[in-house]
Amino acid sequence: MEIEKPKPQRLYQVWRGSNRFLFGGRLIFGPDVSSLFLSTFLIAGPALAFCIKISCIIRHRIRENKPALSWYSVMIVAIVLTMMDMFFLFLTSSRDPGIVPRNTRPPESDETVEMNTPSMEWVQGRTPHLKLPRTKDVIVNGHSVKVKFCDTCLLYRPPRASHCSICNNCVQRFDHHCPWLGQCIGIRNYRYFYMFISTSTILCIYVFSVSWINIVHEKDNVWKAITSDILSDFLIIYCFIAVWFVGGLSVFHLYLISTNQTTYENFRYRYDKKENPYNKGVIKNFQEVFFSKISPSLHDFRAFVQEDEVMVREPTDHNFMEDSSSSKEKIDIGSKCGENNGLTLPEILRSIECDEIEENLKHEEGDDGTDSNRLVSRVEQEPDKHAIEIDEEIVDYVKSDQTTASVQA
């Protein structure tokens, strides 16, 4: 009977993070991608209402034989700004923000630290057989920077990277997780994120200004225009409130860009009290964000992969069998080693009263019990090799016993 081979799967199908993928892994979103629909509605809804208002003004002016060309240009500008805003919204929320590839196993022994420092915090939760320092120092632009070990991704995070608890990924140059976009903001989408919030700010100011001019234009009776034009009133109030949020966010990130900080670093490290190792000057900081080449993704989510085996960590300490364990238990362990190599321990030896033999040997050889543990120590040190030798000795013993019995018969 032939065993069916598992069908090959793409990386996005076995992805361990909390992301959601669309179009066969071509688009990657956060787990709270549903909030993206709300953000789209909050942008497109008022923009559509504004265009409807402008179209009504154009029809009214044409009906009265007044020039309406300027109002056409007003509508075109609004449509262009809205499309740009939606474009940057889509780019920010649907691309890899800079996810760091996670390890399937903890670092090798050459990365462990053997010394025991009381003041050092050790990582032993998921790696009980290794002692890994919680943090280690790396040099960045001549400055010592601490990087932390990630228990989930089993790696030391690169400088400026952090683990997002929502997406369950370590992200390069992690800024924050945006709940309005349902996506992490990192090294590969920060540029588009700033373009999104700045375009939203410009759009709010534009709609607010045009709506206000439209009401003030009725110089004869402004109050009547305010009470009769409900749509313009709504747009003025909505844009006035929204601009404080997106405008304030744009100004804040403008400051972060000029000083080469992330939101996470600004709230956590406070570089105003110590030197920022990433600050290259205002001009170079802006060039790094807006004019540098965006690094390629470290993942090909459409590539075929083999799903990683579930990691089962067993203690590697050779003292996992205590000295107080009985000889019966140790021989059982040796028999299991032999069975793994295709050999079985005879039933006659499985029923041996090992406790009595061990007690006699201790009286004869002393309290150390060296001879009684000699066989078991060989099994513990080299189980694969000595299990075979022990079973060969057992087979020879049984054969000789059978030969003696046949001769006596």
Residues with catalytic annotation?
Answer: 178
Helix%, strand%, coil% for the chain, nearest 5:
50, 10, 40
d(CA 158, CA 23): 30
Name which of 261, 217, 211, 256 is nearest 237 in CA terms.
Answer: 211
What 3 state SS string does 26-54 have? Answer: CEEECCCCCHHHHHHHHHHHHHHHHHHHH
Q: Are 204 and 246 in contact (CB under 8 A)?
A: yes
Long-range Cβ contacts of 206-211 (<8 Å, 24+ apart): 206/77, 206/78, 206/81, 207/46, 207/47, 207/50, 207/78, 207/235, 207/239, 208/235, 208/236, 208/239, 208/240, 208/243, 210/50, 210/54, 210/74, 210/78, 211/50, 211/53, 211/235, 211/236, 211/239
Query: Could you count the other beta carbons within 10 Å of the beta carbon of residue 298?
Result: 12
Determine how β-strand 183-185 pairs with β-strand 176-178: antiparallel
d(CA 138, CA 147): 7
Q: Are 313 and 126 in contact (CB under 8 A)?
A: yes
Q: Are 181 and 92 in contact (CB under 8 A)?
A: yes
**Partners of residue 9 on adjacent β-strands:** 305
141 SS3 class: coil
